[in-house]
Structure 1
Amino acid sequence: MRRFLDSLIKPTRILVAISGGSDSTGLLLALVEALKATPNSSMSLCAVTVDHALRTESGDEAHQVAAFCRSLEIPHLIKVWQGEKPKAGMMAAARDARYALLSDAAENMNADIVVTAHTADDQLETLAMRRERSEQPSIGIADLLLFDRRLWIARPLLGCRREAIRDYLRARHVAWIDDPSNEDLKYERVRIRSRLKEGDIVANTDGAGELRSGIATLAARWLDRYFVFHSPWIGHLVQAGLLAETEILSYAVARLAAVFGGQPFALSRKQTEDVLAFIRRAEPGRMTAGRVVFDLRRDGLFLGREDRGILPLTLATGASGVWDGRLLIENAAPMDIGIVAGRAEAQTTHLPKGVVRRALATAPRIVDMRGHEASVKVAGKVRVTPYFSPFDRFLTRFDFIFAQSLAAAFGARPYPKPPLGLIDGKSI
């Protein structure tokens, strides 16, 4: 914790996510002790407990945590996941709700960064789960993550084993709460945990993470030099850029495809290999992968959304939403609106007509609730900005530099810089 605090840009207000379990209790206590050992520090702590309201006893447990925080003189909030819970995809929905509530709490408490208590055991389980789903190498849980383009979340305990944290708490006679859902085999993580042996070694993901970060940095330079964005949503990779090294081209093309396809994940390894083989053949033509049409011509490769599966979006006045995973729409008009695909007008352009035609067919059109074209006055009150599905919700520090170059290429606002200058002596 002292190394983590030393890495922070000061002054900093740290929001600790604490459930009452051993990991998060140890995290808060270690931060308290580390700060006490740092006299006249410009840093301060606050805490939040997210009550997912999935168990009848969760409310009482949240209040126990609140009492523990009071004993440490740490300001504390309880945030409850309200509303009906989904019957399928519970873990993913709970994760999204948790991060949204953490973000709200950070705003409420004027915190600059959130810390969560993911441990080396969590890393081991995550890598095991991802190995079962895919042969692609994984960096596992990232030590630093940007949520929703506004909140940096750090995981300073990723190098610590859970039992070591519990030994730390036992030595201080501090109890913790055991969540029974951690033993429920209906959850994939619990099933994986039950199969792992106590002596299993946590894979060192530093090498994989730094390799990913290094490739992302090279890909960002490549993007600055060879990628051109044309409205409406046409990507152009100039011919010289297609001769780049395989690692750089694979990384960049897989993520550009996710951006133009409105998908939260990069292309799979197989899809990426197919696209690169198509590029290497150097024969003019088209192929589709990840909802993106790749159109190879003499002057380079054009990327655009394929013309199918584009669902309409309805927005009440004052509301906002993401359309097709590609655009953030904010409705400041005094009426409800709809967003549909297909724009009729075409501006004079030097781009290939087929590329422009497909782009217009997948471009947004603002309509009223009867499906009629919205007036110029109404349309002028609707703000449309790029949304990068693989980065705007969750962005790891390993992809940060590439995402920053992407935002610049689209003329979008930059991502906020991390509140850490170094992690264990390594520059971010």
Structure 2
Amino acid sequence: MCAERPSSPRSAIRQFLFSLQSPARILVAVSGGSDSTGLLLLLDEAVKAAPHLKISLCAATVDHALRAGSADEAREVAALCASLGIPHTVANWQGDKPKTGIMAAAREARYRLLAEAAEELAADLIVTGHTFDDQRETLQMRGMRTEQVSSGIADAVLFDRRFWILRPLLFSTRADIRTFLEERGVPWIDDPSNEDEKYERVRMRQQLTTDGGMEQDIRAAWEERLALSSRGAEWLDRHFALHGGLLGHVLPDGLRQDQAVLDYALGRLTAVFGGQPFVPGRAQMERLLPFAVGREPGRMTVGRVVFDLRRDGLYLARENRGILPLVLRPGEAGVWDGRFYACNGSPTSIVVETGSSPRTGMRGEYFERLPKAAWKRAVASAPALTSEGAPLSEESVRRVDLMPYFAPFDRFLTRFDFIFADRLSAVFATAPYAGLPLRSIDGKTI
């Protein structure tokens, strides 16, 4: 969905619609600002001009209730959608708001509510109005933190394994979108927080300079990420084994592969086994990689994962510290330690914690061949189910869904990491991720 240079909004939307698998129903996230309002009208215009594509629209507005007037703005969007004949719903962020980290919390709530709205309106995918201006701001912010070339905002992200969130205007400018709206005589809402300098993105926006080569840099970074994901998936097939669903094992040959691939794969495995949403930082990886490719046996802890280097390869398991219990009432679901998803279908409250587990009963010649210390460490980090201090009965255990959870992928998975993450699902024998709802990207069939 990207282009080598910022594309006109109309051409970007036409290319997007023709790339979609059809029939399709699109949920448009509309805040009332120029970007999302432009997205809505551009899609409405293009869909009506191409009925043979069998694409329909619906829309949702998330009211974060963070400032006065947000409810009125949501009603204005609802009126616009009604005038276009587009079904619309308002999703309210209810409950107490955090005093710190409000932007991250609002983002999490926004996508959760959009996914709920997509279910309610029977949509197949979600689109948002991110623009090339947002991309430039993101790249500038990330450039302040690292010298590595960033891939910036992804054009496609899978949320909660369920809905793909696509950004068809990511290579169109805000100025061009506003020109389109002015030609149509359609006003938009200016959010005052977009001028509030307490937010880093606003400060970056004010400092932006034009970089004529940015589009090519982004395209190159995207291609590099996709290639690493593909090569990382091949690396998993050839050089990685999983024992008992708990103990990772990189075979010796896997440690002698290209460093870029090893960096990519080990970083993401660290996040998965450590239950962390992000891969370790550069300083941590610069400690881990020389250790992993060295010839001296030993242990190292990075990102809540113990790496145990032996003659037969590198073993990795969650360290046995800082693993907190998770209490689930009947009908509740949650993620334990960032590593396991649990849904309590039993009639009593349960606790997911470490302790005696059916996994400890794994015996036989296969498990006896594993390094005892490494296997013991892995088993000690396994989930166990209890209720009122006692192990659950076999009947209750059958009513609890417990499955691996990949913290860096299962909530937000960019298409850049999709190939690697999907291959990892096969390694853990979990369900595959939902495929992209696209027939083509950049005119290339997928």
Q: Is structure 2 residue 188 aligned with structure 1 residue 173?
A: no
Could you tell me how far apart the structure 2 residues matched to 1:163 and 1:202 are?
Answer: 19
Equivalent pair of 1:292/1:306 in contact (CA under 8 Å): yes
1:332 corresponds in structure 2 to 345
Q: How many residues align?
A: 426
4+ residue runs of structure 1 moved beyond 6 angstroms? none
Equivalent pair of 1:4/1:424 in contact (CA under 8 Å): no
Q: Which runs of 5+ in 1 are unaligned?
A: none
**Which is worse superposed, 276-285 or 298-307?**
276-285
- After the TM superposition, which residues 34-45 of structure 1 pair with which residues of structure 2 at under 5 Å, given as runs? 34-45=46-57
Q: Is structure 2 residue 258 aligned with structure 1 residue 240?
A: no
1:358 corresponds in structure 2 to 377
2:233 corresponds in structure 1 to 220
1:138 corresponds in structure 2 to 150
- AA partner of residue 394 (structure 1): F
Q: Is structure 2 residue 144 aligned with structure 1 residue 126?
A: no
Could you tell me how far apart the structure 2 residues matched to 1:282 and 1:7 are?
Answer: 49
- After the TM superposition, which residues 264-413 of structure 1 pair with which residues of structure 2 at under 5 Å, given as runs? 264-343=277-356, 345-348=360-363, 349=367, 350-369=369-388, 371-413=389-431
**Shift of residue 346 of structure 1?**
4.4
**Shift of residue 200 of structure 1?**
5.2
Deviation per CA, 1:219-242: give whole Å up to 9, x if none: 101101211111151111111211
TM-score, normalisation: structure 2: 0.93
Aligned match for 2:63, one of 51, 59, 73 = 51
- After the TM superposition, which residues 246-265 of structure 1 pair with which residues of structure 2 at under 5 Å, given as runs? 246-265=259-278
1:203 corresponds in structure 2 to 214
- AA partner of residue 337 (structure 2): D
- AA partner of residue 405 (structure 1): R
Aligned match for 1:33, one of 34, 39, 45 = 45
**Shift of residue 203 of structure 1?**
2.2
2:167 corresponds in structure 1 to 155
Q: Provide the identity percentage.
A: 56
Could you tell me how far apart the structure 2 residues matched to 1:61 and 1:9 are?
Answer: 33
Could you tell me how far apart the structure 1 residues matched to 2:445 and 2:214 are?
Answer: 22
Could you tell me how far apart the structure 1 residues matched to 2:251 and 2:23 are?
Answer: 44
**Shift of residue 195 of structure 1?**
2.2
How well do the aligned residues superpose, as a CA RMSD in angstroms? 1.4
SS at match of 1:40: helix
**Which is worse superposed, 156-165 or 28-37?**
28-37
2:10 corresponds in structure 1 to none
**Which is worse superposed, 401-410 or 269-278?**
269-278
Q: Is structure 2 residue 27 aligned with structure 1 residue 15?
A: yes
Could you tell me how far apart the structure 1 residues matched to 2:155 and 2:445 are?
Answer: 13
**Shift of residue 379 of structure 1?**
2.3
Equivalent pair of 1:136/1:269 in contact (CA under 8 Å): no
Aligned match for 1:103, one of 98, 104, 115 = 115
Could you tell me how far apart the structure 2 residues matched to 1:87 and 1:135 are?
Answer: 32
Could you tell me how far apart the structure 2 residues matched to 1:169 and 1:134 are?
Answer: 37
2:125 corresponds in structure 1 to 113
- AA partner of residue 422 (structure 2): Q
- AA partner of residue 400 (structure 2): V
Could you tell me how far apart the structure 2 residues matched to 1:36 and 1:373 are?
Answer: 59
Distance 1:128 1:202, change over 3 A: farther
Equivalent pair of 1:48/1:79 in contact (CA under 8 Å): yes
Could you tell me how far apart the structure 1 residues matched to 2:353 and 2:409 are?
Answer: 24
- After the TM superposition, which residues 61-72 of structure 1 pair with which residues of structure 2 at under 5 Å, given as runs? 61-72=73-84
Could you tell me how far apart the structure 2 residues matched to 1:6 and 1:299 are?
Answer: 51
Could you tell me how far apart the structure 2 residues matched to 1:31 and 1:400 are?
Answer: 27
Deviation per CA, 1:199-252: give whole Å up to 9, x if none: 455822111011100111011011012111111511111112111111111100
SS at match of 1:384: strand
**Shift of residue 39 of structure 1?**
3.5
Could you tell me how far apart the structure 1 residues matched to 2:263 and 2:211 are?
Answer: 32
Could you tell me how far apart the structure 1 residues matched to 2:405 and 2:183 are?
Answer: 48
**Shift of residue 56 of structure 1?**
1.7
- AA partner of residue 239 (structure 1): P
Equivalent pair of 1:232/1:363 in contact (CA under 8 Å): no
Could you tell me how far apart the structure 1 residues matched to 2:426 and 2:116 are?
Answer: 28
Could you tell me how far apart the structure 2 residues matched to 1:109 and 1:201 are?
Answer: 41
